Every structure is written in C-alpha cells, then in structure tokens.
Amino acid sequence: MDTIAVLPSGFALPPLPHLLAVAALAAAVLVGLRRDPPTVDGRAVLALAPWMVAGSSLYACHQLGLYPSAVAPVFGSPIVYATTAAAAGATWLAVRRFGARPQVLLAGVGAVAAAVPITAALARGWTAGTLTLAWPLGAVGAALVLTAGSWRLLARIRPTDTRAVGVAGVLAVFGHALDATSTAVGVDALGYGEQTPLSTAIIELARALPTAPVVGGGWLFVVVKLALAAGVVVLLAESVRDRPQEGTAILGLVAAVGLGPGVHNVVLFIAANPTGF
C-alpha cells in the first residue's frame, strides 16, 4: 500500500553529533529564558523577524552547497530552524543586559545574521551566472500589495481583532503571502517544483482547471494561503486579548512558518535560477 507524504522533500535530521550539539545549545537557551522570561509583544515579534529571515537564508545557502562539510549538517532542514532559534534566544538573553531598548539590539543582530547568508547567496549567483532579480522581487512586491489589501479588508470586517493582534498579525499575513507568491512564481514562471505535498495538491488542482493555460496553477495556492492566514489571525485574536504573552508568541510562530519558506524561496530563486530572468 502506498503511503501519503506529508513532509516536504529534503526533511532530514543531521548526524547525531550535530544534533546533540544543537539540542544542547537550545536546551541551555530555554533554561535561560525560563529563568528570566522576556516580554513577548508585537515589538518583540517584529524584532525576531530578521532572525526568521536569517534561518531561511541559511537553509538556502545549504541547498546552494556553500558550507564546509564539517558544519553543513546544522544548516539543513529542519535543524537550521532550531540552530537559528537557539542563536536568537541566546542573543535575546544577552542584549537584555545592555541598554533600555533590547528589542532594537535583537533586531539589529538578527539583521546582520540575515545579511551574511543573503550576501553569500547573491555572490554565488553572480559568480555562477545564475543571478536573477525580476521574478523573485516581483513576488516580494506582490506579497506587500496583497498584505496591504488583505489587512485593510480584514480591518473593516474584524476591526477589534486586527487591533488586538497588531503588528504581529500583519507580519503573519505578510509571511504567508510571501510564501504563496514566491511559490506561485517558482512553479509557474521559473519551472521549480513544490516540495510540500499538500501545497502540490492545491497547485495541481488549479492546473486541472480550464483557467490553467492563462493563469497557471499557483494562484489558487495564493488564495488559500491568504484565507488561512487571515483566519488564523482572527482565531488567535481572542488568545492575544486574554493571554497577551502566550497569544502573541503563537502568532509569532505562525508568522515564522510563513515568512521562513517565503524568504527561502526568494533567496534561492535569486541565486540559482538558470533562466537569469
């Protein structure tokens, strides 16, 4: 009997020594955060956004083969996200001891952490002759437009909920919009395949429709992702109101689940698209 795949391709744990090293670091950071828990609000989620970008960019560099073999396993999927989360947590613990605006410092260090792999990916694309900008940056622009429109509509329909979730809700919608638009660009314009089976099923459904020769198959994935993101934001609004710290933390995870894959797609498409368009 055939099994149904539910995990994306490329999902694999690293060798045991690398896994134990990351687990030990993550455990130490968790202990520190439990002893001295930080305030999790919308500004904190926004400050963690560069770290979300960093993690996904590090994974893109792993797919591009840019790491020495000794350290490459800790940047594969899914371990790279634990690696990045541990680094972000350790940074958060450290910057809270300096100055009155630790979230600004957290975001700044995260921005540097993201800039390094992005620069490496760009350099690889330049030297390999596979650097491309139009379609990937078009996906970013489309995500911004869709986020603005979706949020404005959501604010009219559920004004109390959008006020409750604030900037964390906006980031969640943008993250999933970027994942959707970059996926649509990848499968319809650049010839990439979707790694996640559930997403593939949605795209294939759209490709079976009479509209496929005109608009491709990615549009339905965009619609589904935006609807789901808006629905989750509305559902979490009550949690944010009742338990602000816990609700906002969950909303931050929702944002990361969208923003991470979206940024990964954009960085990979920019650096490795053989069409150069």
Domain of 47, in residue numbers: 13-128
- On whether both 70 and 176 belong to a single domain, the answer is no
Asked if residue 268 has pLDDT above 90, the reply is: yes
d(C-alpha 90, C-alpha 79), whole Å = 17
Host H or E run for residue 252: helix 244-272
| pLDDT of 10 | 57
| pLDDT of 253 | 96
d(C-alpha 140, C-alpha 123), whole Å = 20
Q: Taking the model in full, what pTM does it have? A: 0.91
Asked if residue 226 has pLDDT above 80, the reply is: yes
Q: What is the 8-class DSSP label of residue 68? A: -
Helix/strand/coil for 216: coil
- On whether both 113 and 185 belong to a single domain, the answer is no
- Asked if residues 240 and 164 have their Cβ atoms less than 8 Å apart, the reply is yes
| pLDDT of 99 | 65
Q: Domain for residue 242, yes or no?
A: yes
- On whether both 204 and 86 belong to a single domain, the answer is no
Tokens of 47: 């400050």
Look at phi and psi of residue 4 and say left if phi exceeds 0, alpha if psi is from -120 to 50, else beta.
Answer: beta
The average pLDDT across 209-234 equals 93
Q: Measured between alpha carbons, how far is residue 161 from residues 205, 233, 274 in Å?
A: 32, 8, 44
Asked if residue 1 has pLDDT above 70, the reply is: no
The pLDDT confidence band at residue 7, using thresholds 50, 70 and 90, is very low
Asked if residue 275 has pLDDT above 80, the reply is: no
pLDDT, the chain, mean: 91
| pLDDT of 5 | 34
d(C-alpha 60, C-alpha 270), whole Å = 10
The pLDDT confidence band at residue 101, using thresholds 50, 70 and 90, is confident
User: In this predicted model, which residue has the larger pLDDT, 141 or 212?
Assistant: 141
- On whether both 92 and 147 belong to a single domain, the answer is no
Residue 276 main-chain phi, psi, to 5 deg:
70, 25
In order, the DSSP letters of 164-207 are HHHHHHHHHHHHHHHHHHHHHHHHHTS-PPPS-HHHHHHHHHHH
The average pLDDT across 74-94 equals 94
- Asked if residues 10 and 73 have their Cβ atoms less than 8 Å apart, the reply is no
| pLDDT of 276 | 45
Q: Domain for residue 233, yes or no?
A: yes
Q: Domain for residue 1, yes or no?
A: no
- On whether both 257 and 221 belong to a single domain, the answer is yes
Q: Domain for residue 247, yes or no?
A: yes
Asked if residue 3 has pLDDT above 50, the reply is: no
Asked if residue 11 has pLDDT above 90, the reply is: no
- Asked if residues 247 and 241 have their Cβ atoms less than 8 Å apart, the reply is yes
Q: Residue 148 burial (CB < 10 Å; 0-12/13-18/19+)?
A: middle
Q: What is the 8-class DSSP label of residue 21? A: H
Q: Residue 109's Cα: distance from chain center in Å? A: 18
d(C-alpha 74, C-alpha 250), whole Å = 25
- On whether both 216 and 238 belong to a single domain, the answer is yes
Q: Domain for residue 59, yes or no?
A: yes
- On whether both 261 and 136 belong to a single domain, the answer is yes
